[in-house]
Amino acid sequence: MGKFHRFLLIVFSIIALDLLTKEIAVRLFSEKDFIVIPNFFNFTLVWNKGAAFGVLANAPIWVRKLILIFASLIAAIATIVYAYAKQNKLSKLELYSLALIAGGALGNLYDRIFLGQVRDFIDWHIFQYHWPAFNIADASITIGIFLFALNELYLKNRNKD
């Protein structure tokens, strides 16, 4: 299997896992939260109309949809095109990082297009201090960006020495 085929396999796996877990969250957590570890970790269904941290949540619906759908679509397409064009020059870590980003962007894009909002359900907190709820797509994007940045800032420079 070629590098780009592995890239696509990861992208589609992230999308499938994201959509599956969101559907499970809607079915199981619509009525009641599920406390996994008290004062630390819950499953709590949150319908996020905005972007990360609720950005644009209060903007007019047409502005919110236009900006968020367009930005998500451009990010996903740009990431996939870049990965395809540079597949022979990218390390496995770079390519897999981009796959995590693209898969996450497309998972949330599905929600934005078909539901008008994103289903978040992973709720980390320490007593009353909460991290905003997120989902598998958000985690994939964050991990992908972290790994790509780590590679660019640290690992590439280390290999040059």
In sequence order, the 6+-apart residues with CB closer than 8 A to the CB of 70 are none
How far apart (Å, rounded) are the C-alpha atoms in residues 160 and 8?
29
Q: For residue range 37-92, list pLDDT tens digits in order.
A: 998 999 999 999 877 767 777 788 888 888 889 999 999 999 999 999 999 999 99
Residue carrying the six token digits 């040059």: 160
Using a cut of 0.85, tell me whether the model's pTM lies above it: yes
Just list the catalytic residues: 120, 138
Helix residue ranges per DSSP H, the chain: 3-29, 61-86, 92-115, 136-150, 156-160
Backbone torsions φ then ψ of 46, nearest 5 degrees: -130, 130
Per-residue pLDDT of 121-136, as tens digits, reads 999 998 788 888 999 9
What does residue 32 show for φ and ψ, rounded to 5 degrees? -150, 140
